[in-house]
């Protein structure tokens, strides 16, 4: 370290005397020290991530453990760090009693902690987000398997996990996780950026179809249970809400069309083409049937890419 300080001092004092380029030895010494600094920083980040992941996994072991961890985080952030009295925290808990005793709230916290833990794994890995598609798929499936038990928790689950009190306590709110959705119910990005891309291969078209089926089922559950941006119970006696009706008549067919386009491009052209033709017949009155017909024609007879002439 003393040698590095001596080198740094000579580097900053030299310009006061005369212009002097770095020697090869200077460059090598600086690069070596920078490498050690980077390794030290990476180690500290890994340790912080590891500590956070361990705490999150312990907390998501049960509903009560998740709530206890949540309360500890709230107490630290909103009371201890602000030098507020213990009485203030107890009064806050009294006012929040209804929510804190809610089974659905505790269960939602567990799912939130699970997605946050997975997010940290992705952030700390050198692998692309799609490498975690299996874990992401399982986490999302488990959320929707619990959807009846999560009544009233749409807004909590929609919250980006890096903005939660859990992330704030462990000072990980500002990390960057490219191509990774920050909510376990952000279905468009979870499937579009993480789950579907690895399946877009000729040998995986059946798996691609299965993933699309999962997504469409989950999108349906969102509308049935969390309609109008909040929570909505399924219609009774077969009567749908206006939003549910729109989903069934317009959005659901759109998802089916998107699935067949995806499968066609992935390699199963014969199977997808047949289903697309049947789809156009079945949904002939759909508002987007004209767009679908044009898209189908473009798939069947793709136009050659236009190559710019030299100098353009």
Radius of gyration of the chain (CA): 27
How high is the pLDDT of residue 240?
A: 77
Burial degree of 106 (CB within 10 A; 0-12, 13-18, 19+):
buried
pLDDT tens-digit readout, 189-212: 999 999 999 999 999 999 999 999
Distance CA 74, CA 101 (A): 16
User: Would you kindly state where each structural domain of the chain is located, as residue ranges?
Assistant: 44-195, 201-300
How high is the pLDDT of residue 233?
A: 53
pLDDT tens-digit readout, 19-56: 677 787 767 777 766 666 565 555 555 556 778 889 99
Can you list the residues of the chain whose pLDDT is less than 70? 1-19, 26, 32-48, 228-238, 305-312
Q: Which residues of 113-125 are buried (b: 16+ CB within 10 A; e: fewer)?
A: bbbbbbbbebbbe
How high is the pLDDT of residue 78?
A: 95
How high is the pLDDT of residue 7?
A: 46
* Helix 103-123 / helix 133-145 crossing angle, nearest 10 deg: 170
Long-range contacts, stretch 3-9, CB < 8 angstroms, 24+ apart: 3/29, 4/29, 4/33
Q: pTM for the whole thing?
A: 0.80
């Amino acid at each position: 370290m003393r040698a590095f300080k001596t080198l740094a001092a000579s580097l900053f004092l030299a310009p006061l005397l005369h212009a002097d380029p770095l020697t090869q030895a200077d460059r090598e010494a600086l690069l070596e020290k920078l490498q050690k600094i980077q390794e030290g920083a990476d180690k500290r980040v890994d340790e912080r991530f590891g500590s956070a992941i361990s705490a999150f996994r312990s907390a998501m072991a049960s509903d009560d453990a998740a709530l206890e961890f949540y309360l500890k985080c709230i107490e630290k952030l909103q009371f201890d760090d602000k030098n507020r009295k213990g009485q203030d925290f107890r009064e806050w808990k009294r006012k929040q009693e209804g929510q804190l005793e809610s089974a659905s709230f505790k269960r939602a916290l567990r799912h939130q902690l699970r997605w946050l833990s997975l997010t940290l794994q992705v952030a700390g890995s050198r692998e692309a987000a799609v490498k975690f598609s299996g874990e992401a798929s399982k986490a999302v499936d488990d959320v929707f398997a619990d959807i009846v038990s999560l009544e009233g928790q749409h807004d909590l689950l929609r919250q980006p996990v890096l903005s939660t009190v859990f992330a704030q306590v462990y000072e990980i709110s500002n990390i960057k996780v490219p191509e990774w959705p920050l909510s376990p119910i952000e279905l468009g990005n979870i499937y579009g950026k993480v789950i579907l891309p690895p399946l877009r291969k000729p040998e995986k078209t059946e798996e691609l179809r299965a993933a699309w089926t999962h997504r469409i089922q989950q999108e349906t559950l969102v509308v049935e249970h969390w309609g109008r941006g909040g929570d909505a119970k399924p219609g009774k006696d077969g009567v749908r809400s206006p939003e549910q009706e729109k989903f069934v008549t317009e959005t659901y067919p759109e998802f089916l069309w998107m699935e067949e386009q995806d499968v066609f491009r992935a390699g199963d052209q014969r199977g997808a083409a047949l289903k697309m033709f049947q789809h156009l017949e079945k949904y002939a009155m759909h508002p987007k049937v004209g767009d679908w017909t044009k898209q189908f024609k473009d798939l069947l007879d793709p136009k050659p890419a236009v190559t710019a002439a030299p100098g353009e």
